[in-house]
Amino acid sequence: MARWPQWLSCALLLLLAACSAPVPQERVAEQALELRSADGPLRGGVLDGVAVFKNIPYAAPPVGALRWRPPAPVQPWQEPREARRYGNDCWQNRKSWDRAMSAQPMSEDCLYLNVWTPLPLRGDKLLPVMVWIHGGAYASGSGSSPLTVGDRLARRGVVLVTLNYRLGRFGFFAHPALSAESREGPLGNYGLMDQIAALHWVQRNIARFGGDPARVTIFGESAGGDAVHQLMLAPPARGLFAAAISQSGGGRALLPRLREDQPDLPSAQTLGQRFAQRAGVHGEDAAALRALPAATVLGDLSLIEWDRQAWTAVCIDGQLVQGDVLEGYAAARQAHVPLLLGSNGDELGALPRFVLRAMNQLLTPRFGAQLPQLIAAYPSAEAYERNLSSDFGFVEPARRIARHASARQPVFLYRYDYVPQAQRGKWRGAPHASDVAYIFGYPEAADADVSEQDRAQASLMGELWTAFARQTQPAAAQATPWPAYQRDDDRVYEISAQGTRLLPAGAPWLEAIARYAQPRAP
């Protein structure tokens, strides 16, 4: 049976395509600026008062014998390394219709990050740091996306870091042959290991770029938002960041276990064995797996092939990932740092009606005999059809996590529902990922026709997010005060074209989802 996470991933890729527009090309600084990192000297550049250093290695290239191993240390260098252009993206299947994708070459040699920092660099007054983790269903995207250029966010007084991490089977893969090599170390979740390695790089290096290693905020959207939750719950990531932002990060994805098959969910190793057999590798031959061509490992992650037998992402390995996200927050296993999280007003509503119906049908077994009560909780059959998948996958999990976490740390819950002026009358609300370009200050990446209100909205979003990074309290001069979420008060901070306001976070259908949804289909 097809399952929620895979359908969601496909749907979100379609939605991103529908929302994409021509985006700015990479700007390369002509004025050079040199800086020495802990591993060697870098030759970056200056653009409009912001220092830019790109293509900085944070781990050794995971190629050859290092494929499907934890990230290895960088080999130091002596001569200045050119750092004015982006490096390789990690292997992925790009789609011609998705103009938000980077145009960089793709390679397994892709573990690089980029830094934007305001000038002048001052060692006596270190700035807060924001580390962006891109989305893309753990199968696409990069730190060099034109939507997430960091100069405008950096001008708000933060040091901005974007990074690549291994994707698809390169980043999330398990097989008995690999497990036999490393009985004690972490396995399977190499993309998450990359993110942790990048955060270690930040701790070792960011003060040289004017950033404060004690004030690091991780933030990400979609799969990047899920990665934020995974890092919040991962013991090896503890102490590497001081605050977190999860945008449309969900929390309901059911994760396979590394080695143990479940009645309705094959283990990551079983999935890996199935792939290996299709690729012609039989038995426990790790060398043969690592010798497979990159194109074979990548495969064609199309809508037809995208299922658990073709590809998987995060698995429960017992070390980095100890369980499902909602279970982790319910057990208070998360880092007790300030957390900002939320969802968009119409996450999946821009999808065709037949796709929404199909997604809803995949969810109905999770409610069993209580399905009629769930349907009755919605104000209408149309509202149920339109919103169930969004509510189940994004809105209700964000509120649930806020309710769990607010007992132990400051939590700020939001709903982003700003519709660009050019899209009014076409969109009923803000679809998935439409917030990203606004947070980075590039509304023209979301729509070619940008209004003054759109630009003002981008300014508001940038100020709210950077204020949280500066003082762990989102605030802006032109915005309604944003108090921390309180379980008894149960309000969500809405951001829309009408302004900002506090609204009740609960609703009968959200309560019904929380009450009736089973962990897995019977």
Q: Catalytic positions, please?
A: 222, 347, 432
263 close to 222: Cβ distance less than 8 angstroms:
no
440 close to 148: Cβ distance less than 8 angstroms:
yes
Length of the chain: 522
Q: How far is Cα 296 from Cα 292, in angstroms, rounded to an integer?
A: 6
The four Cα atoms 485, 491, 493, 497 give a dihedral, to 10 degrees, of: 180
250 close to 137: Cβ distance less than 8 angstroms:
no
- Identify the three-state secondary structure at position 517: coil
Q: How far is Cα 315 from Cα 6, in angstroms, rounded to an integer?
A: 14
Q: Is 428 exposed, middle or buried (0-12, 13-18, 19+ CB in 10 A)?
A: middle
DSSP 392: I
Q: What is the 3-state secondary structure (H, E, C) of 139-178?
A: CCCCCCCHHHCCHHHHCCCCEEEEECCCCHHHHECCCHHH
Helix or strand run (H / E) with residue 501: strand 499-504
Residue 8: phi, psi to the nearest 5? -60, -45
Q: How many CA atoms lie within 13 A of 141 on its CB side?
A: 29
Residue 262: phi, psi to the nearest 5? -115, 160
DSSP 489: T
DSSP string computed for 431-476: PTTTTHHHHTT-GGGT-SS--HHHHHHHHHHHHHHHHHHHHSS---
Angle, nearest 10°, between helix axes 396-405 and 508-516?
80
- Chain centroid offset of residue 191 CA: 11
